[in-house]
Amino acid sequence: MAAGYLSLVLHAHLPFVRHPEYPDFLEEDWLYEAISETYLPLLTVFNGLRRDGVRFRLTMSMTPPLCEMLVDPLLQDRYVCHLEKLIELADREVERTEREAGHFHPAALMYQRHFRECLDVFDRQYGRNIVRGFRELQEAGYLEIITCCATHGYLPLMSNETAKRAQIQVARANYIKHFGRPPRGIWLAECAFNPGDDRYLREAGIEFFIADAHAILYGNPRPRRGIYAPVITDHGVAVFARDTETSEQVWSSEIGYPGDPDYREFYRDLGYDAPDDDYIKPYLHDDGVRRNIGIKYHRITGKVPLHEKAPYVPEWASGKAAQHAGNFLENRILQVRHLRGQLGREPLILAPYDAELFGHWWFEGPQFLNHLFRKIHFDQQEIAPISPIDYPRIYPENQRQTPSPSSWGAEGYNRVWINSQTEWLYLHQHAAERRMVELAREFPDADGLWQRALNQAARELLLAQSSDWAFIITTGTMVQYAIKRFKDHIHRFTRLYDMLRAGEIDQPWLIEVEERDTIFQEIDYRVFGWSSN
């Protein structure tokens, strides 16, 4: 029997970005980069482990907006076009580096191989629907895929209980559409929990959720086993808390593995480095502005200026990924040996991360996971990889607790999402939430054009509720886009509300909006008609 358990949880999420009104849209690159650098490499690693008989177990949230984008034909077509341009550029780069920049040639060959493999897996193996690949791994028992709030809505800052419940119920229905069964776990957006929200999880059949450490450490009563066993909430949902030691070891770019000098430098990119504008321009957006394109030839090197970064050597980086996987496993073994004596039972070490860390930010991250699961399988017997859903099957009796209000943002509470820069968002969001409840209760049996308008109003509200807009504004990245997206959804919701109130629907405009914001085709606006009374 194992001395302890390791549960890796990857949170895969992107905001819903889809702009059919433009032939080329910069922010859609977020999805294309994540597919090439994170989701396809992870699928490749998981399938390789499965093929080689490695019995791995990993938990992965795939949020409803991400799933909706991954199955969208427009975005699938655009991704293939994006990838074909990168393959063309990589082919040219192989020739150029062989001729005039030999120190970059091994990396150029790596990118050429990588982009061609991405196209093969995406287009040929999965017919452009990689959600199917993750679903197959879940059905085979390797993955436990969990859901998230419908649009990554931040529950503690919503104005009423009906709006909170709707985020959970819409997410549940969307998960069933994509994965063929109800979800058993959830990653609450930003790991944000407020006591009482668990009632909506239990109603939806959710058995567990992920929280930051202080949710359990400061809960009532204090946890007998710290963060190394779940607690059970007032409504019977298991809570698993993040282990801070494993987080720092992997997450931190300062003291963690991703900061190693031999790993790829994220902030040095051919989109900026190419000396000839005419050479690189065909691979940029229509505005021709220099941007990251995903071909990066330098390694982190150390604390030196960007222009002094040394050439990236793929072989060195791969070796470090294997070395760091071994170090991570050694530390977990020491950790469970110590904790087992303290707890009197096998501890569970929960290690949750943003999935995009693995591949996008830390290019070698998927290789790290590949080495880690192989070492766990072949090299030792003290650590067993499991999903949080598995632990209560091993130990059914766990402490009852009311977890503390919490999030995994800076300072652990709500400041990242509500502050002097973002507080104005909630005045409009809360008004729209109240109005949506009002509409759903006033028109409980709508059909035809009215039903379509009410469903679209629900979509626009859900999209406005995304925590991504406040996060982007607070962190100062793509602020104007986040502000515009929030305002657009509120304006469209308000226009729909006014039409419904006036009893006259502008059908051509409704069709235009339906074709733009296509998320949740299965939605039923009546989810906002629920009352706790």
The residues assigned a catalytic role are 190, 354
Q: How many residues does the chain have?
A: 533
Alpha carbon distances (Å) from 110 to 87, 113, 295, 315, 388: 11, 5, 10, 10, 36
Of the candidates 312, 332, 327, the one whose C-alpha atom is nearest the C-alpha of residue 246 is 332
**DSSP reduced 3-state for 299:** strand
Contact status, residue 35 vs residue 122, Cβ threshold 8 Å? yes
Other CB atoms within a 10 A radius of the CB of residue 516 amount to: 13
Per-position DSSP letters for 420-455, written without gaps between them: TTTHHHHHHHHHHHHHHHHHHHH-TT--HHHHHHHH
Contact status, residue 173 vs residue 462, Cβ threshold 8 Å? no
Residue ranges with strand state E in 135-220: 143-148, 185-187, 208-211
Contact status, residue 519 vs residue 68, Cβ threshold 8 Å? yes
Contacts of 153 (CB under 8 A, 6+ apart): 163, 167, 189, 462, 465, 466, 467
Q: What are the φ and ψ backbone dihedral angles of 478, each rounded to 5 degrees?
A: 50, 45
Contact status, residue 433 vs residue 251, Cβ threshold 8 Å? no
Of the candidates 396, 510, 411, 404, the one whose C-alpha atom is nearest the C-alpha of residue 454 is 510
Structure tokens at 380: 């030792």
Contact status, residue 492 vs residue 515, Cβ threshold 8 Å? no
Residue type, 465: Q
Distance CA(361)–CA(366), nearest Å, equals 11
Distance CA(134)–CA(45), nearest Å, equals 12
Structure tokens at 79: 């991704």
Structure tokens at 490: 């509120």
Contact status, residue 65 vs residue 519, Cβ threshold 8 Å? yes
**DSSP reduced 3-state for 383:** strand
Of the candidates 44, 34, 119, the one whose C-alpha atom is nearest the C-alpha of residue 70 is 34
Q: How far separated are the first and last CA of the chain, in Å rounded? A: 49
Contacts of 202 (CB under 8 A, 6+ apart): 235, 236, 237
As to burial, measured by CB atoms within 10 angstroms (0-12 exposed, 13-18 middle, 19+ buried), residue 368 is buried
